Structure 1
């Protein structure tokens, strides 16, 4: 009987010994292998399963050690009677299938209160998303980035006798002092924030922190200002408090300081990289928001997540660290790639606020498990957190750069927002193209994309896909987009303006200056020299200058250029049309690629 219940998977992560043990335990607890049943001999079991006899012997011995099996001299292994004495319900005692019918849905509808969930929150990606060739998903990471060896080392350390005595005796609403100390002395000072332990509260994720703050600060008589669309779960949590949500407009510098934001009693801001639109709030706008909050008497809830993944020198300072930051409540959640199993977060606020939040958390009985707190404290104290953050940032920067290059090369006509922090960008589509339909077509070709249906936009993540696969995926996306967009846009055949011949190009381009904005919203300036060289200059979203050199030449009536680094260093050929000062670039097949301004140094 026992051997017929066991099916081994040689490809599984678990050893054959562990699989045998688990299958036998499952059979015992379910009643399929009853108490007192004589187990097959180790030799017979090994023959039936096609494994070494020693594998079965070791599995049996561990089951004896755990009291699932007992040995009888010269008789063999038997299922222990103690299992049934512990109250396990056997198959014979279970309710027959005919009685355990499908519950009456009408009965439960009468007893359950209505629950509403954002439709966006219910959209789930395929369970096997990591097996897709091009997983451009956000909030997920390549498992190879995870610092597994470092976590294993810390796990061994915290199970030492002295360590267990410390974390296992924490009170029901107490936070681990070692972890709070690491946050105060190691993490926050790097963000320019200096607080005492009594100003920190741990939470089991950003969602719990937002729930606690919503219960404390918001309600039907309050107005919360936040940029929409927002993170699905966060927006839903705040809505459930009954607060009136005020949508805040934003531009490339962040939330705007107009009439809308002045109506809010409280503002929820994500300065580093707004989720999902990937806007980084400029330093000057941060100062303006703080000044306005102090004038209005408004409270700011600042989500400072993903600041460690900064791809341009040092990240901008959080609102909490700037002058006037006393009205700011600071939130931070450890990145999923560093602690995917815990997702621990913390709140920084004045002591009276923390005391009230602690009381609310006690009522929920959802304190972060003590073992998780001590494990994370050990991980930070050992330097593993810093080392992992640095290493992961370097790898993510490669992907960030690769994605930016791919989007500029393959989709130069569309505007992309790519924050200086975070792990995703925001691509708004033309109104003639359905983001939802594009998502379905892309998935059929191995691309997983996230859609903001209400805004006809895509959120393209780059943390779960290798850098060398990014361009191939974006090339497929570009084919799908261009196939739809090109049907309604200007082409070389119907373009307004004057098409330049080889003679025109030779006369117009030497000494010219090309001005424009690329797909990432970066302004560029290109000098075209008479000797066939080019000098390119661009300024990105955090005012960091980027330069490159290249060369240009003519091929028939087409203008050809090749940069040393930009656009992967590949040559590209264009038909050129001039319409006043406006210049239009068309591909060899006549598709509109980009537009800009043709000027000269004297202009």
Structure 2
């Protein structure tokens, strides 16, 4: 019973001993391994898992020390009865409830929630292993300043430091971090404020939620540029405010009738997401003048100000003449603090006081530990050094993407701002962005279709500079119809059909990434010993795993999962085409395609 619960991954960062221990704890707590159950001997468990016996012995001993297992003289290891007595394991007394009954019950108790389904679609698992990950809002983990964060982490756990940050009140912000923001970050942007004009939030989304609660409502009108990416528009919409769409040109938002009617205006003047439009200096002056004349408040999201690849970034609205009616939002770049996503609001003191009161009611203050850690990181100069290093890397990629687009797609309209981490590509009229996104993924290229499908967004923060041209070449072939995007058969397929000798050479150790017909991303690893490991994730991030076997039957590749595909054996002809691998059934019909991962 317990052996079936354990699937070890030799490539994982966790040790085999730790993986065995965690899997057994999971089985004990879920009831899959019941109380008083006798565990297999360490020798038998080691043979089943293909590990050293000492690895199992040490895992068992740790579970005994933690109270999950007990030893009985001359009998072996047993699951402790006390775990069940303490109420950790919960068993249902009756028959399991039917899924449809459960859905009906909760459907009557939950209010309707309106969210763009595209926002719920998770990127494929292991997206970074795709050959061409042109994803936006993601970063190359190799750029992450891990050593600097470890240094700061050691510092904040000294007794003196703990006494300072651990005693913060339930609605206080770390004064050291606020001081660093006031003296180091904001002056570079031409913004000079006092500590009482700053409020820390858990990301820009929380800041927008607080501002929406404070400034908007049924009788208010909010203007924002369309198309709008992310959750910002939905957050403001839930306040009940009337949403006024703003049009824009190459210089930024137009001063049209919708803007003139607004009580509040949400802007991203530095780099609009997703269209990559940068608001010109003159348009910024006109926006400030218009807002002052009509008595409107401007909410400025100064995104991607740190990454500028050509000249100097334009000043934020908050730092210009007439910026008194501007509320400024800033979020630390994701590559700097991917786990924290800390942001702050700059506004007059009366506004900050009210926002602080609203934040208190939500009980969602940024953890004091994270605040002090970031304060140390900024004070030590690590933020400046990291931003400089990352900007140099991103500039190289920004340049490579521009050159590749001009060479391979010279006739398409491309917008690439001098800041930011993505560009906007308008597609030909006959092409649908959603379909292009699906075809691109099958060819190992990840991108983001936006708006009404007339454009795509290409991010360059997670892809190496030397891979950018190859990815743009694949994209150009898809757009120009040079790559096969329709159904293929074994008779008209593109690529190289693998013989038995090829299969024997190329299949062991291979890793495949793809998306099935249900829209679930999957990862399949073929072990040299003939076993398979499978992992899938659907659009609500429910993970599933399975194991199986694979072998060769002449020139056909055969696989059989334990539970997936009903556990039935299936045989395929295999074809490789660049980064793609294709499976054809015995009648020559294309069954599935995947991407060969970069391990």
TM-score, structure 2 length as denominator? 0.75
**Which stretch shows the higher mean deviation, 390-399 or 334-343?**
334-343
Q: How far apart, CA to CA, are the structure 2 residues paired with 1:101 and 1:287?
A: 58
- For residue 553 of structure 1, what is the aligned residue in structure 2? none
Q: Rg: which structure is higher?
A: 1
* Paired residues of 1:414 and 1:427 also in contact (CA < 8 A): yes
2:67 corresponds to 1:67: yes
- For residue 170 of structure 1, what is the aligned residue in structure 2? 168
Q: How far apart, CA to CA, are the structure 2 residues paired with 1:127 and 1:52?
A: 31
- For residue 15 of structure 2, what is the aligned residue in structure 1? 15
2:55 corresponds to 1:55: yes
Unpaired runs of 5+ in structure 2?
A: 483-599
* Paired residues of 1:436 and 1:453 also in contact (CA < 8 A): no
Q: Cα 1:127–1:49, aligned 2, differ >3 Å: closer, same or farther?
A: closer
2:319 corresponds to 1:321: yes
Correspondent of 2:402 among 376, 387, 404: 404
Q: Cα 1:178–1:83, aligned 2, differ >3 Å: closer, same or farther?
A: farther
Deviations 1:98-139 (A, max 9, x none): 446543433333322222112442444323322221111111
Give the match's secondary structure for 2:104.
Answer: helix
Deviations 1:422-443 (A, max 9, x none): 1111111232332223223222
Q: How far apart, CA to CA, are the structure 1 residues paired with 2:380 and 2:87?
A: 45
Deviations 1:461-494 (A, max 9, x none): 111111111111111222222349xxxxxxxxxx
Q: How far apart, CA to CA, are the structure 2 residues paired with 1:376 and 1:453?
A: 35
Q: Which has the higher contact order (CA 8 A, sep 6+)?
A: 2
Q: How far apart, CA to CA, are the structure 2 residues paired with 1:83 and 1:165?
A: 36
* Paired residues of 1:223 and 1:266 also in contact (CA < 8 A): yes
**Which stretch shows the higher mean deviation, 309-318 or 64-73?**
64-73
* Paired residues of 1:138 and 1:460 also in contact (CA < 8 A): yes
Give the match's secondary structure for 1:125.
Answer: coil
Give the match's secondary structure for 1:232.
Answer: coil
Write out aligned runs for 1:18-417 (5 A).
18-37=18-37, 39=39, 42-43=42-43, 45-70=45-70, 78-90=78-90, 93-99=91-97, 101-417=99-415
RMSD: 2.3
Q: Cα 1:180–1:61, aligned 2, differ >3 Å: closer, same or farther?
A: farther
* Paired residues of 1:118 and 1:232 also in contact (CA < 8 A): no
Tell me how far 1:144 sits from its aligned partner.
1.5
Tell me how far 1:13 sits from its aligned partner.
2.1
Deviations 1:524-579 (A, max 9, x none): xxxxxxxxxxxxxxxxxxxxxxxxxxxxxxxxxxxxxxxxxxxxxxxxxxxxxxxx
* Paired residues of 2:434 and 2:453 also in contact (CA < 8 A): no
Deviations 1:57-114 (A, max 9, x none): 4333433443334566787655444423321235xx4344444654343333332222
- For residue 6 of structure 2, what is the aligned residue in structure 1? 6
**Which stretch shows the higher mean deviation, 38-47 or 136-145?**
38-47
Q: How far apart, CA to CA, are the structure 1 residues paired with 2:38 and 2:437?
A: 56
Give the match's secondary structure for 1:329.
Answer: strand
Q: Cα 1:44–1:193, aligned 2, differ >3 Å: closer, same or farther?
A: same
2:404 corresponds to 1:428: no
* Paired residues of 2:28 and 2:89 also in contact (CA < 8 A): no
* Paired residues of 1:272 and 1:420 also in contact (CA < 8 A): no
Deviations 1:212-245 (A, max 9, x none): 1011111121111111111231111111111112
Q: Cα 1:105–1:382, aligned 2, differ >3 Å: closer, same or farther?
A: same
Q: How far apart, CA to CA, are the structure 1 residues paired with 2:174 and 2:188?
A: 21
Deviations 1:24-53 (A, max 9, x none): 212322234444555555555444433334
Q: How far apart, CA to CA, are the structure 1 residues paired with 2:394 and 2:356?
A: 36
Deviations 1:492-515 (A, max 9, x none): xxxxxxxxxxxxxxxxxxxxxxxx
Give the match's secondary structure for 1:281.
Answer: coil
Deviations 1:234-286 (A, max 9, x none): 11111111111222221211112343321111111101100011011112221
Tell me how far 1:22 sits from its aligned partner.
0.8
Give the match's secondary structure for 1:115.
Answer: coil
Tell me how far 1:161 sits from its aligned partner.
3.1
Give the match's secondary structure for 2:436.
Answer: helix
* Paired residues of 2:149 and 2:377 also in contact (CA < 8 A): yes
**Which stretch shows the higher mean deviation, 417-426 or 11-20?**
11-20
Q: How far apart, CA to CA, are the structure 2 residues paired with 1:327 and 1:344?
A: 24
Q: How far apart, CA to CA, are the structure 2 residues paired with 1:482 and 1:44?
A: 59
